[in-house]
């Protein structure tokens, strides 16, 4: 590959040239799990247990979007926005809403919230990976023309 006018360092181009998509895929998984786990941790710290469940759920959702926005801004520079945006947003939002409710129930420990976040994050990342695997590739033009 001619790198003479590339805006990127030869190391980055070499990584791309070796088709190291698994590194970028790892970033997708890490960002999705991180978004869910950090959301769970912050919710357990900020939402008091004596609040009502609907308020906890709503605040959990708002906090999850704030957490995800920060993680998204940092990691999308590394691996592009699209692989992080949807799985990360979905896992953070679900974790935020559920953990918000669980925190107000006052029966769940921090470690359980973290575990819940990690499971949701891993599940979302895997789900989107499989969905991408199913959709990736050529689109039949006969089908597309009919849809239009």
Partner 1 sequence: MDHIEKWNRAARTFDWLNMGVERRYGAHKRALFAKAWGRVMLVAAGTGLDFSWLPPDLDIVAIDFSPEMVKRAKLRAVQYSGRLAVVEADVEDLKFPDEYFDTVVTSCTFCSVPDPVKGLKEIRRVLKPDGRMLMFEHVRPGNFLLGIMMDIMTSAMRKIGPELNRPTADNIRCAGFKITREFNVYLDMVKLFEVAKY
Taking alpha carbons only, the member of 67, 74, 59, 76 closest to residue 41 is 67
The two three-digit tokens of residue 51, written as one number: 């609040």
Helix (H) or strand (E) holding 64: helix 53-79
The two three-digit tokens of residue 60, written as one number: 């959990």
Quick note: the x/- pattern for partner 1 over 10-49, rule CB under 8 A, is --x--xxx-x-x--x-------------------------
| Binding residue (CB under 8 A) for partner 1 from 22, 136, 142, 146 | 136
Shortest distance in whole angstroms from residue 37 CB to partner 1: 21
C-alpha distances out from residue 125 to 75, 85, 129, 143, Å = 15, 11, 6, 29
C-alpha distances out from residue 94 to 97, 105, 121, Å = 5, 17, 9
| Binding residue (CB under 8 A) for partner 1 from 66, 78, 105, 110 | 78
Cα torsion 60, 89, 36, 79: sign? negative
Residue 81 interacts with partner 1 (CB under 8 A)?
yes
- Name which of 16 and 55 has its Cβ closer to partner 1: 16
Tell me the window of 39-47, 51-59, 94-102, 133-141 that interacts with partner 1 (CB under 8 A).
133-141
| Sites of contact with partner 1 (CB under 8 A) | 1-2, 4-8, 12, 15-17, 19, 21, 24, 75-83, 85-86, 89-90, 128, 131-132, 135-139, 141, 144-145, 148
């Amino acid at each position: 590959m001619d790198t003479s006018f590339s805006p990127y360092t030869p190391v980055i181009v070499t990584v791309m040239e070796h088709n190291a998509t698994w590194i970028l895929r790892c970033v997708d998984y890490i960002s999705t799990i991180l978004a869910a786990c950090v959301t769970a941790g912050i919710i357990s710290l900020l939402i008091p247990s004596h609040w009502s469940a609907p308020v906890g759920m709503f605040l959990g959702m708002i906090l999850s979007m704030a957490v995800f926005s920060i993680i998204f801004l940092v990691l999308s520079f590394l691996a592009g926005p699209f692989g992080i945006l949807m799985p990360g947003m979905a896992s953070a939002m679900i974790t935020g809403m559920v953990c918000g409710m669980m925190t107000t129930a006052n029966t769940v420990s921090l470690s359980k919230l973290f575990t819940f976040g990690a499971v949701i994050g891993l599940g979302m990342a895997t789900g989107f990976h499989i969905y991408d695997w199913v959709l990736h590739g050529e689109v039949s033009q006969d089908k597309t023309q009919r849809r239009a």
